Structure 1
């Protein structure tokens, strides 16, 4: 390390990713208290990210998930967390490394973090090839919530609300 500067920004990001891991660990053990819920945005092209091919096709670079009422099997590990979410009433297991997270927010307490994650084309899995006109290969559209059903676990695109870098 002699001759190299300390990258304090990287040290802070590492510590804050630890805070995300700890928050997920507490939720895995005790559940989400009160109105707490999480928006987690992550790079889908990073090493270690595991999502179904149709979701990767729909979100080849970045995706946001919501942990609120309908999630199962939240398992935070030392380097990644796993969770099952429902997409069009189909349960899907996701594996998300903390290093792939670009944003973490808990709107119930107006808390949010943003992280630097460079796009990683080398780690991007090949996009699935769909037959032209084969609707079964297309990613499913969000199903409308039924009367009285709370709709959660959907992917929410927040790009329109982000400030563009000049």
Structure 2
């Protein structure tokens, strides 16, 4: 068994902490200036709590807007609860951070997207290092190589494109 740094999960954890910090600030002081959020989340996540009619209407994912009218914003380490207005109907909901797919603040052109990835709590220690268990997994030499497929380069994203 070898150990490796699980950068994907470390980055996801850091981005979710950023969302938590932003929502804590909004819960304490309200939305500053023109800031507002579009949050898309997985309605099938087992810990999401929302009205049956909303989960029926949005069976896979839903985007909420936190802007003009919201109340009861409560932020925890695992997620947040909020009451939003849907057609003059106040609806409470709870969204765990793990259910969030995108978080966007268009007022400052800031956005985060969470890619679906393997998240096995048993494979990762609290230090952010994954214990690689390759038993049963195909080894590189076992995987057929597609020689006609174009090579993919690593993509480097500059944070400058998110700044105003």
TM superposition score normalised by structure 1? 0.68
2:99 maps to what in 1?
100
Runs of 4+ in structure 1 displaced over 4 angstroms? Answer: none
Report the structure number with the largest CA radius of gyration: 2
Length, aligned pairs only:
117
1:91 maps to what in 2?
90
SS of the residue corresponding to residue 115 of structure 2 reads coil
Residues 136-165 of structure 1: CA distance to partner in whole angstroms, max 9, x if unpaired? xxxxxxxxxxxxxxxxxxxxxxxxxxxxxx
- Over aligned residues, Cα RMSD in angstroms? 1.1
Matched, 1:55 2:44: no
Could you tell me which runs of 5 or more consecutive residues in structure 1 were left unpaired when the two chains were aligned: 119-166
1:78 maps to what in 2?
77
Could you tell me which runs of 5 or more consecutive residues in structure 2 were left unpaired when the two chains were aligned: 118-164
Q: Write the distance in 1 (CA, Å) between the matches of 2:40 and 2:51.
A: 16
Q: Alpha-carbon deviation of 1:31?
A: 0.5
1:69 maps to what in 2?
68
SS of the residue corresponding to residue 45 of structure 2 reads coil
Q: Alpha-carbon deviation of 1:9?
A: 1.2
Q: Write the distance in 2 (CA, Å) between the matches of 1:69 and 1:10.
A: 33
Query: Where in structure 2 are the equivalents of 1:1-166 lying within 5 Å?
Result: 3-117=2-116
SS of the residue corresponding to residue 4 of structure 2 reads coil
TM superposition score normalised by structure 2? 0.69
